[in-house]
Amino acid sequence: MKTKPVGRVKHIPQRTCVGCRETLPKRQMIRIVRQADGVFVDPTGKVAGRGAYLHDKHSCWSRGIKGAIANALKTELNDDDRVRLETFMNSLPKEAEPSG
């Protein structure tokens, strides 16, 4: 009887959300990147520059905009950066209110 060769398990990169500190696969997170001309949302995840990751949750984004993103990117967010990030945050689906 022949045995099947053992398949290799593919490595899945993990990233930590700067808003809630939860670790998830990189593909499930949204990357924020610092470049010379400001801070931007990176939909491809491949733009050159220092990056930080967030969930697609309003709570994580609001904590991030208050200071966690600036800390992770080692920069200060100016008004244009905040407007760009808040506009993206407002386009995210609303979270369900916790019942209790």
CB 19 within 8 A of CB 71: no
pLDDT at position 6, please? 74
SS3 3: coil
Q: How far apart are alpha carbons 20 and 86 in whole angstroms? A: 17
- Residue 98's pLDDT band (boundaries 50, 70, 90)? low
Rounded to two decimals, the pTM is 0.83
Q: Where are the domains of the chain?
A: 14-91
- Write down the CATH number for the domain with range 14-91: 3.30.1230.10
What confidence tens digit (pLDDT) does each residue in 15-50 have? Answer: 999 999 999 999 999 999 999 999 999 999 899 999
